[in-house]
Amino acid sequence: MSASGGTRAIIAALTANVGIAISKFVAYLLTGSSSMLAEAIHSVADSGNQVLLLVGGRRAARRASDVHQFGYGRARYVYAFIVSIVLFTVGGLFALYEAWHKFAEPHPITAWQWVPVTVLVVAIGLETRSFWVAIQEANAVRGKHSLMEFVKASRAPEIPVILLEDFGALVGLVFGLFGVSMTLATGDGRWDAVGSAAIGLLLVVIAIFLAIEMYSMLIGESAAPEHHRAIEEAIPGDGVERVIHMRTMHLGPDDVLVAAKVAVPAGATAEQIATAIDAAEKRVRAAVPLKAQIYLEPDLYDAARAQTADATEEAAAPKDAAGH
């Protein structure tokens, strides 16, 4: 599974959301619809989130320094975590507040009644296009994983974030259209509040899910199961008898740290061991499409001692497609 940053999907979503946000604000000013205001703020939050993802990608590309010797790859996780906070507060909580306010003081939509419906229908079309671009980007890298498995298993945050944002935007637009349509049909402004509340709850759920996923990456996840296996299988070779135990951890979506204790022949010289380890590192780098920082410790294999290490390794190894 590639760790592509999904820049095309981010740009497509940003372009769509800026235009949609402007049209929703105009519709809100003309009609006073609570659902339109909630949707407008939602689009503003999404636009800001896409800018954050682009900034995170640029900052992650900085060279390693004396202070950050493994580089800045995790900056992409930090900015994606900020996205979840923005989505929760600016999008979800504001929509819930607006729903409460509108339910307490409901007002029917009496002017420009065709505007909110038109804006929402057009927005659904634009969001559908943005969502389709994100799906295409995901299809190019998700392999045999379903979209939900890809969202949970991907070590790159951008495409999963855009997928969830676009999905939430589409469903939110449907909620908004329902609230506005029912308000127009019944003259009861509380339906508008219901649409806004549904949008808020949806955004809060998506934001919490994103926060949990990004938290997991920030504290350090192992390589994806298929990459973990490929690395472990690539290490043994001439001069390296087997892997005694191994740990992997993503330093960023494209960077993985590999630390392993490997068995070498009892009679091997220091020069032979060094040559064998260099060759093993080359095999690992050829086996996975990631930038690998590799530290191999040579040792002599002891079956009794290895049983304890193997049990620990089995407990720590990735168990499913999500790798959690």
Which range among 72-86, 105-119, 145-159 has the greatest average pLDDT?
72-86
Task: Spell out the residues 6+ positions from residue 113 whose beta carbon is closer than 8 angstroms to its own.
Answer: 31, 184
170-187 pLDDT, tens digit each: 998 899 899 888 988 888
**Superfamily of structural domain 3-219:** Cation efflux protein transmembrane domain (1.20.1510.10)
SS3 (DSSP) at 74: coil
109: its two tokens:
């939509």
Which pTM does this prediction carry?
0.77
pLDDT at 320 over 60: no
Task: Spell out the residues 6+ positions from residue 157 whose beta carbon is closer than 8 angstroms to its own.
Answer: 53, 76, 77, 80, 213, 214, 217, 253
Measured over the CA atoms of residue 122, residue 50, residue 323 and residue 85, the dihedral's sign is negative
Measured over the CA atoms of residue 170, residue 174, residue 179 and residue 181, the dihedral's sign is positive
Domain at 225-316: CATH code: 3.30.70.1350
263-291 pLDDT, tens digit each: 999 888 999 999 999 999 999 999 999 99
In the structure, what pLDDT confidence band is assigned to residue 324 with cuts at 50, 70 and 90?
very low
Which range among 31-40, 46-55, 112-121 has the greatest average pLDDT?
46-55
255 close to 291: Cβ distance less than 8 angstroms: yes
Domain boundaries, the chain: 3-219, 225-316
